[in-house]
Each structure stands twice: as C-alpha cells, then as structure tokens.
C-alpha cells in the first residue's frame, strides 16, 4: 500500500497498528526521523539488523522473529540497507504468524524493484517513498520545530538552512543545538551564527575549497589571513573529511556515469552553491589520491588529541599545504 510521507508525518500514530512497513528513498534525514518516531511510539524491545547480517545468518534472524520477550509484549525489528536480495526472506516472514513488527529501510528503489512492488501492491503493509526535501519543506520543519521561539525571522531561518546545506539530517541536528542553547526561546542572530559556527565554517570552507582545487596563490593568501583556532583542529579535519568522503562517492559513481550526472545523483543532494566546487574537485581527486589524504587527516586527528595547541596549528597548516600540492600532481 503506497502511503505519502507527508500524510504519515501528520498521523504517525497510524503506524502503531501496522505490522510491516518499508521506507525507501534518498532522504536519510526523513527515514531517520520516521525511525525515531516509531521507536518513541512503540514501547517494547527494538532489534536492529542489516540486510547482510540476515543473508549471512538467516537462522539467527528467524529465531529473533519468533522469540517472545519475557519483559515486553511488543518487539520491533528494523532492517537497514534492504534490496531485492532480501525479498524471498521477507515473503516467507509475511506468510508466517509472528508477534514481531518489521520496519525496513532502503535506499532508492526503482519502479521495477521486487521489494518495492511487494509492499506497494499489499493491502496490509505500507510503502513510503522518502524523496529529497526542497527549501519549502525544510523551512516548514524549522517553523514547526521552533514555533515557540522568538527571533525566527527570514535572516535567521536562512542562516539555519545554510548551516544544514539543505540536508534534513543535518538540519535536525542543528535544531537540537538551537533548542538546547536558547533555553529562553529568544534567538539572536549573532549568538545563532556563533552556535552554528557560521563564521568558522565560511572561512574554513573558502580555504578548504581553494586547497582542494589546487589553487596555490589563493590558498597561500588564505592560509595567512584565515584564523585557524588550534582548539578546533579536529573540527576542521571533520569538515575536510566530509568533503573528501563525498568526492570519494562521486569517484565511485563516475565509473558508470558522466561527472555531471554523478554529482547530480549524489544523496543527500549537493547544495547548489557548492556544486561548481564539487565539479572542479571531482576532476582532480580520484580514489587513490583521496585515500592518501584521508589517511593523513586520520593520523593528524590521532596526534592532535595529544599535541599542544600550537603544534596542532602548525601541523594543520602543513597538511593543508601538502593537500594543495597533491591536487596539482597529475
């Protein structure tokens, strides 16, 4: 049975009566939000599996399905990363009579997917597509979650949106920060920017992009003018690693797609303002080079936890120079 995500969001209690559900699509944040709501509503034991774990040990999965808990009447089993490989096992489960509920999560499933069709054609079980958000849906999330807060003007809403890079999962994390920090429910612009590290992000992101683009002149200028706070070394490395990991995903997609198609296919979607940098950097950074830099950032992160702050700052700048040089190696 096809169920629209926005309808289910408004009536999440309905899922409490359903035994089996499939959530599929590219919106990781929306799927995570559904899972959290399901856990909150259903009191009982919650068991997590991945598809690979079930395929590698179906007996253990079957035992978990049929075992009843001494401490709870309700048992909910979550299965992540589902594909058509698990259809037969799910069909067998649907034919059995067990007390366990089952919630499946998948990435994007094509119309011809056997798993998707199994749920869409069923009258008993629901199938929910979780498509990427747009600015309107994300803005509505902000307005809904922070409806009791003062100071939620257009400028502050855009600040929150930009900090999340149009990613619902990141947006929900930023909203949690805001709720915790502004306990008086009065949001001020400067405090909001500081809380979300807007200035730090903007300055380091400029530097990061010139480094990864291999632009030595601009990189050297920014290295001398950008304040890199030593105590935030691990935070800077996290920003850098996030970009490198996304470039690694593009490198994989490029095996079967054009560069433009690979960037467009990325999920969560690449923020429009960052697309040009992704396109230029993806031409430079292939898997082998990316892995080399990721190893270097990992080693610096380990040493940063024991080094002096001054030493961290020196080592970070050296790493950034090395990355810029690596970008120019053909």
Together in a domain, 232 and 159: no
User: Residue 303: what pLDDT?
Assistant: 85
Together in a domain, 230 and 323: yes
Together in a domain, 169 and 107: no
Together in a domain, 187 and 213: no
User: Residue 208: what pLDDT?
Assistant: 95
- Tokens coding 174: 């930023």
Together in a domain, 205 and 181: no
Together in a domain, 312 and 251: yes
User: Residue 234: what pLDDT?
Assistant: 85
Together in a domain, 166 and 279: no
CATH code for the domain of 21: 3.40.50.300
CATH code for the domain of 321: 1.20.272.10
Alpha carbon distance 167, 267 (integer Å): 9
Together in a domain, 239 and 271: yes
pLDDT tens for residues 108-137? 899 999 999 999 998 888 999 998 888 888
**Last residue of some domain: 79, 105, 129?**
129
User: Residue 310: what pLDDT?
Assistant: 65
Together in a domain, 284 and 206: yes
- The range of the structural domain enclosing residue 267 comes to 198-327
User: Residue 88: what pLDDT?
Assistant: 92
**Last residue of some domain: 195, 213, 228?**
195
Q: Give bridge partners of residue 101 from the DSSP assignment.
A: 76
User: Residue 119: what pLDDT?
Assistant: 94
Q: Give bridge partners of residue 188 from the DSSP assignment.
A: none
Q: Do residues 275 and 309 lie in contact, with contact meaning Cβ atoms separated by under 8 Å? A: no
**Last residue of some domain: 153, 180, 195?**
195
Together in a domain, 302 and 183: no
Domain count, the chain: 3
- Cα 161 to the chain's mean position, in Å? 15
What is the full per-residue pLDDT of the chain (330 aa) written as tens digits? 898 888 888 776 776 677 789 999 988 889 988 998 888 887 778 889 999 999 999 888 888 877 765 455 578 889 999 999 999 999 888 877 666 788 999 988 999 999 999 999 988 889 999 988 888 889 999 999 999 999 999 999 998 988 887 788 889 888 998 998 998 999 999 899 888 877 667 788 899 999 999 999 999 999 988 888 888 888 889 889 989 999 999 999 999 899 999 998 887 778 788 899 999 999 999 999 999 999 999 999 888 877 777 678 889 999 999 999 999 987
Indicate yes or no: pTM above 0.85: no
Together in a domain, 37 and 141: no
User: Residue 193: what pLDDT?
Assistant: 86
pLDDT tens for residues 240-274? 998 999 999 999 999 989 999 999 888 777 878 88
Together in a domain, 293 and 243: yes
User: Residue 66: what pLDDT?
Assistant: 76
């Amino acid at each position: 049975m096809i169920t629209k995500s926005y309808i289910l969001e408004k009536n999440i209690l309905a899922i409490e009566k359903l035994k089996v559900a499939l959530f599929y699509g590219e919106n990781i944040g929306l799927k995570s939000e559904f899972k959290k709501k399901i856990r909150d509503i259903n009191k009982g034991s919650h068991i997590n599996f991945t598809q690979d774990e079930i395929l590698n040990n179906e007996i253990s999965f079957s035992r978990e399905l049929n075992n009843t808990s001494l401490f709870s009447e309700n048992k909910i089993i979550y299965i992540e990363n589902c594909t058509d490989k698990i259809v037969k096992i799910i069909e067998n489960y649907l034919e059995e009579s067990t007390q366990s509920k089952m919630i499946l999560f998948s990435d994007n499933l094509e119309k011809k997917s056997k798993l998707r069709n199994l749920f869409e054609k069923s009258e008993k079980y629901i199938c929910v597509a979780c498509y990427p958000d747009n600015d309107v849906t994300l803005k509505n999330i902000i307005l809904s979650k922070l409806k009791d807060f003062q100071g939620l003007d257009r400028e502050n809403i855009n600040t929150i949106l930009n900090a999340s890079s149009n990613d619902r999962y990141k947006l929900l994390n930023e909203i949690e920060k805001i709720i915790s920090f502004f306990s008086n429910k009065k949001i001020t612009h400067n405090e909001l920017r500081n809380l979300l590290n807007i200035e730090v992000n903007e300055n380091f992101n400029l530097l990061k992009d010139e480094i990864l683009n291999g632009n030595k002149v601009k990189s050297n200028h920014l290295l001398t003018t950008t304040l890199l706070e030593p105590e935030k070394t691990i935070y800077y490395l996290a920003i850098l690693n996030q970009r490198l990991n996304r470039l690694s995903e593009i490198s994989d997609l490029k095996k079967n797609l054009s560069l433009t198609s690979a960037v467009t296919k990325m999920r969560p979607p690449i923020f429009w303002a960052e697309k040009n940098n992704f396109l230029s950097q993806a031409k430079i950074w292939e898997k082998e080079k990316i892995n080399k830099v990721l190893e270097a950032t990992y080693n610096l992160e380990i040493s940063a936890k024991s080094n002096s702050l001054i030493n961290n700052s020196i080592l970070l700048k050296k790493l950034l120079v090395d990355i810029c040089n690596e970008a120019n190696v053909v």
